[in-house]
Structure 1
Amino acid sequence: MRRGQNGKYETVEQCGCEGRQKESVVADLEGTLTRSKSSFPYFMLVALEAGSLFRAVILLIASPFAWFLHHIISEDAAIRMLTMVAMAGLRVKDIEAVSRAVLPKFYGEDIHPETWRVFSGCGARGRCVVTASPRIMVEFFCKHHLGADTVLGSELHVTPSGHATGLLRWPGALVGASKRLAVKNHFGDAQPGIGLGDRSSDLPFLALCKEAYIVPKKQVQQVPMQELFNPVVFHDGRLVQRPTQLVALLTLLWFPVGVLLALVRLWVCLLAPLDYVPLFYKLLGIKLTVKGEIPDNIERGSRKRAKGVLFVCCHRTVLDPVFLSVALGTRVTAVTYSVSRLTELLSPIPTVRLTRNRERDAASIKKLLEHGNLVICPEGTTCREPVLLRFSALFAELTDQIVPVAVLPRMTMFYGNTVRGYKAFDLFFFIMNPVPHYEITFLRQLPADRTHISGGVSSLEVANSIQKMLADTLGFQCTSYTRRDKYRILTGGDGSVKQQQQQINSERKAAA
């Protein structure tokens, strides 16, 4: 055992990690691998994203009782209570979907640098994570993003119909002696090399290890996402911030106010003349920042649209074309591959749905360009990460009047796009933010000699060059990911998550 002069375990900072490639390591998750000791935010995310707003409210009300159980009665009782409230009655496949698409982003932003230094420095086939949280919540993140070989966690009891009962299978929550037993059963007669923990209930399993270290409670900087085994690139969920008790309380209190405010904002901006919309934005707390030079052939303040200008922008939310029109001072027709009926009904600008039939869509766009300006988002779907998906090259074959536009929405409470949720509500969630902010940057119109029609440049090169221009403007990364790749990663459709995450990781290293 590695103990200091006072008989206590040494801190993780004193653990050397060189030459540990063949060593095994077993580490606790909350408070050890992560900086935060609390598992409440992750139960809240499951309750809200896999359950409902009502379940989230009940969990928040129950959180003081869980805190009391954890600190006065037992950690096991607190975990059992959180599990019951957050998961009872939910479909297991919904919990798994949240653990794959929502939780990794928040776990990944909270990794402890010293623990990660030791954990990642040990052998890839001997990394073990042990946690009191239900294994179903943490296994995907630990294996795919931390490179863990094994995850030992509390086991959820599931009905034959695939629903969680909210109960934990024997021996209950993995704390204290039960955590030691799980580690002992996994390693058998072999002795784990390094043990990492942060609390008294971790001491029993630490006693099994050749070396053991404690992670002290102090403020440290998080590990940059790019340094994880696989960085979290695509993620889902409505909440922007990790829902600690305070953040969850403020979010739930704001929710009814946000709904009412969103309805007012939507109603006023739909009925107001376009010339006055920027003024109402300011009055209603919506911030719009316009940068760059608007093309000379666009008449601001007029509903008359000049012919043939195609605005090509990255796709962050369904409101991209709306804010673009407000920035221009004239309505621009939006062409899109998919849009909900509700969004289409409430849209203050003309919206044309494409069919994904290349010839038919090309004919439709050409016809629309003969009558006015268009805006298209060639990524094919919204994206909230600082990356750009692969651009479709179709638009480059139809006109040489192309103006790239970089759009960047800033949200503090709710995301205005989703994969798993109801996309019809994307519009409302964005304008439910206390101060929704859109930044529109107009880039210079593409020179004729760099277009497909006038310059003879291949349409793919035109699309790639515009993608790079937008990425450079926003500080984002160009990728070869498509809309389908994003959905596969978030839904686990083809089981290739690890391979695709490694692809974007290698692309980042190559770019650096």
Structure 2
Amino acid sequence: MEFEKVENCSSVEREKHTVVANLEGTLTRAKSLFPYFMLMATEGGSIVRAVALMLVTPLAWLLHHFFSEQAAIRLLIFVSLAGLKVRDIEGVARAVLPRFFAEDIHPQSWRVFSACCRKRCVVTLSPRIMVEYFCKNHLGADIVLGTEIQVTKGGRATGLLLSPGVLVGTSKRLAVKAEFDDEEAPDVGIGGRASDHAFLQLCKEAYMVTEGNKVEAVPMGELFKPVIFHDGRFVRRPTPKVALLTLLWFPIGMLLSILRVFICVNAPLKMVPTMYKLLGMKLVVRGNVSRSLKRDGRGMLFVCCHRTCLDPVFLSVALGEEVSAVTYSVSRLTEIISPIPTVRLTRDRVKDAETIKQLLQVGHLVICPEGTTCREPILLRFSALFAELTDEIVPVAVLPKMSMFYGNTVRGFKAFDPFFFLMNPRPVYEITFLEQLPIELTHSAGRSAFEVANHAQRIVGETLGFECTNFTRRDKYLILTQGDGSVKHYK
């Protein structure tokens, strides 16, 4: 049966219409589920599970093309999910998958789907638990119909499926029919593969997506809600080719990372830039570094955005002089491998202020007033504590660049963050020293601590081209760990 192309579907005056759309290859441009299963296997499981998934992928391909699409999906689900805790699956579905889904939304399907406001239904052959959060929070779906997985009484996925199995073909049709049993037939149906014809026949109007990856994805800001914060270690979408290269590089990168840490921690500070070059690392320094050094025996306070826990280390190397760093949380492993003094704060404002003053009396100090690392092109709200303690403030813009692995995480083991950054083949750190805040813009000149902090945030943001927000550390962790999805502070 032939259906019209979705490009021919009008999106005008659809406010009172219902819509049913397939997810893979319809709302998203790509039909392949492999990247999402690889993300789930890695972030919810381990590198061992990721390797296992990579090994069975050729078999899944053969099953899909020569035997049964359902059998291929069952195999991928079993390898990716079997034994995982449901809360871990949900955590990855909230914090990791949405970014990759949001970067792949088909413009024509989204144009029609978003225009139908009465009821939006997404049908998918993926496990519902993997996609429901994204579809409801970022696409504005009211209902998500997907493959249901078995869960033990202990809250772990068995890797097996509940009846009717993979939601594809006839089973997808029956699910849509049951959802709209007490209503009129859906006004609009959108599919992207031959197996979608079964449910499209139930709709008053039916359309197919044919262009797929040939069109540009919808800008993330045009979605029902933008994906702001995200987690996970993969920088790039783990397609089969990217995943294979990443897994082959992983043991090499791990050894290289340990070597980089060992040599740079033990080398004299003046020799570290040379070591960086020899070890494939690049440090880019901008601004007038000499003006940033202490005067009259006083230590300077360097205020920088927080991209990874290595920010103070690279800043120290860029200065060519040792600085101390203060942080709210630091692992024992990070303390051991850190080549600069690291002091833990207590979150007691009075005690922390006294600690910072004492450190400034003996040398330079770096502080990251965002309170936590942030990988997005935004700045979290700067804490104003530093502005009350000194007038010798130098804002610093830092920007690490990674090609394979992110050097920060929320759900993972933060102690491994430095190693993951240094596992990238050629990691880059850009350090830009800005002009010291003029005395008339400091706390002692009558400016409030919040004015000083907001000014420092603004000039760092302008330097990096980042947007300054009112998001706090708490907002970030709430969104990534509890799935609140709130964007109330976002401008």
TM range (shorter): over 0.9
In the alignment, which residue of structure 2 is the partner of 1:198? 192
After superposition, residues 7-406 of structure 1 pair within 5 angstroms as: 8-123=2-117, 125-188=118-181, 189-218=183-212, 219-296=214-291, 298=293, 306-406=297-397
- For residues 297 and 153 of structure 2, what CA distance do their matches in structure 1 show? 62
- For residues 408 and 38 of structure 2, what CA distance do their matches in structure 1 show? 20
Specify whether residues 485 and 305 from structure 1 end up closer, same or farther in structure 2 by C-alpha distance, changes over 3 A only. Answer: farther
**SS of equivalent residue, structure 1 residue 352:** strand
Query: How far is the alpha carbon of 1:305 from its aligned partner?
Result: 11
Check whether the contact 1:307–1:369 (CA below 8 A) recurs between aligned residues.
yes
AA at the equivalent of 2:447? V
C-alpha distance after superposition, 1:112-162 (max 9, x if no partner): 111111111111x41110000000000000000111010000001111111
Specify whether residues 325 and 306 from structure 1 end up closer, same or farther in structure 2 by C-alpha distance, changes over 3 A only. Answer: farther
Query: How far is the alpha carbon of 1:502 from its aligned partner?
Result: 4.6
- For residues 65 and 3 of structure 2, what CA distance do their matches in structure 1 show? 22
**SS of equivalent residue, structure 2 residue 362:** coil
AA at the equivalent of 2:304? C
- For residues 130 and 113 of structure 1, what CA distance do their matches in structure 2 show? 18
AA at the equivalent of 2:80? A
Query: How far is the alpha carbon of 1:274 from its aligned partner?
Result: 0.9
Query: How far is the alpha carbon of 1:478 from its aligned partner?
Result: 1.0
**SS of equivalent residue, structure 1 residue 106:** helix
Check whether the contact 2:382–2:453 (CA below 8 A) recurs between aligned residues.
yes
Q: 1:417 aligned to 2:408?
A: yes
AA at the equivalent of 1:290? V
- For residues 265 and 372 of structure 1, what CA distance do their matches in structure 2 show? 27
- For residues 193 and 451 of structure 1, what CA distance do their matches in structure 2 show? 61
Query: How far is the alpha carbon of 1:472 from its aligned partner?
Result: 1.0
Gaps spanning 5+ residues in structure 1: where? 1-6, 508-512
**SS of equivalent residue, structure 2 residue 487:** helix
RMSD: 1.3
In the alignment, which residue of structure 2 is the partner of 1:3? none
Check whether the contact 1:308–1:399 (CA below 8 A) recurs between aligned residues.
no
Q: 1:486 aligned to 2:476?
A: yes
Gaps spanning 5+ residues in structure 2: where? none
**Sequence identity percentage:** 65
Could you tell me the TM-score, scaled by structure 1's length?
0.94
**SS of equivalent residue, structure 1 residue 141:** helix
More deviation, 264-273/423-432: 264-273
Check whether the contact 2:392–2:436 (CA below 8 A) recurs between aligned residues.
yes
Query: How far is the alpha carbon of 1:264 from its aligned partner?
Result: 1.0
C-alpha distance after superposition, 1:253-274 (max 9, x if no partner): 0000001101111111111111
Query: How far is the alpha carbon of 1:167 from its aligned partner?
Result: 0.6
- For residues 61 and 6 of structure 2, what CA distance do their matches in structure 1 show? 27
In the alignment, which residue of structure 2 is the partner of 1:510? none
- For residues 496 and 261 of structure 1, what CA distance do their matches in structure 2 show? 38
Check whether the contact 2:120–2:143 (CA below 8 A) recurs between aligned residues.
yes
Query: How far is the alpha carbon of 1:307 from its aligned partner?
Result: 2.0
**SS of equivalent residue, structure 2 residue 258:** helix
- For residues 173 and 305 of structure 1, what CA distance do their matches in structure 2 show? 72
- For residues 210 and 384 of structure 1, what CA distance do their matches in structure 2 show? 45
Specify whether residues 36 and 79 from structure 1 end up closer, same or farther in structure 2 by C-alpha distance, changes over 3 A only. Answer: same
- For residues 227 and 305 of structure 1, what CA distance do their matches in structure 2 show? 53
Specify whether residues 502 and 152 from structure 1 end up closer, same or farther in structure 2 by C-alpha distance, changes over 3 A only. Answer: farther
Query: How far is the alpha carbon of 1:110 from its aligned partner?
Result: 0.7
AA at the equivalent of 1:359? V
**SS of equivalent residue, structure 1 residue 179:** helix
- For residues 368 and 416 of structure 1, what CA distance do their matches in structure 2 show? 27
- For residues 428 and 417 of structure 2, what CA distance do their matches in structure 1 show? 15
- For residues 364 and 48 of structure 2, what CA distance do their matches in structure 1 show? 45
Check whether the contact 2:128–2:148 (CA below 8 A) recurs between aligned residues.
yes
Query: How far is the alpha carbon of 1:306 from its aligned partner?
Result: 5.0
- For residues 64 and 496 of structure 1, what CA distance do their matches in structure 2 show? 38
Could you tell me the TM-score, scaled by structure 2's length?
0.98
Check whether the contact 1:305–1:332 (CA below 8 A) recurs between aligned residues.
no
**SS of equivalent residue, structure 2 residue 291:** coil
- For residues 402 and 502 of structure 1, what CA distance do their matches in structure 2 show? 31
More deviation, 68-77/363-372: 68-77
- For residues 115 and 430 of structure 2, what CA distance do their matches in structure 1 show? 41
AA at the equivalent of 1:501? V
Check whether the contact 2:301–2:392 (CA below 8 A) recurs between aligned residues.
yes
- For residues 210 and 386 of structure 1, what CA distance do their matches in structure 2 show? 43
**SS of equivalent residue, structure 2 residue 216:** coil
- For residues 309 and 479 of structure 1, what CA distance do their matches in structure 2 show? 26
Check whether the contact 1:305–1:372 (CA below 8 A) recurs between aligned residues.
no
AA at the equivalent of 2:299? G
**SS of equivalent residue, structure 1 residue 370:** helix
C-alpha distance after superposition, 1:192-232 (max 9, x if no partner): 01111111000000000011111013411111111111111
**SS of equivalent residue, structure 1 residue 148:** coil
Specify whether residues 429 and 297 from structure 1 end up closer, same or farther in structure 2 by C-alpha distance, changes over 3 A only. Answer: closer
AA at the equivalent of 1:433? N
4+ runs deviating over 4 angstroms: none
- For residues 256 and 245 of structure 1, what CA distance do their matches in structure 2 show? 18
**SS of equivalent residue, structure 1 residue 296:** helix
Match for residue 459 of structure 2 among 466, 469, 475 = 469
AA at the equivalent of 1:257? I
Check whether the contact 1:291–1:440 (CA below 8 A) recurs between aligned residues.
yes
Check whether the contact 1:91–1:163 (CA below 8 A) recurs between aligned residues.
yes
Query: How far is the alpha carbon of 1:251 from its aligned partner?
Result: 0.5
Check whether the contact 1:89–1:165 (CA below 8 A) recurs between aligned residues.
yes
Query: How far is the alpha carbon of 1:297 from its aligned partner?
Result: 5.7
AA at the equivalent of 2:260? R
In the alignment, which residue of structure 2 is the partner of 1:4? none
**SS of equivalent residue, structure 1 residue 334:** strand
- For residues 384 and 343 of structure 1, what CA distance do their matches in structure 2 show? 19
More deviation, 284-293/170-179: 284-293
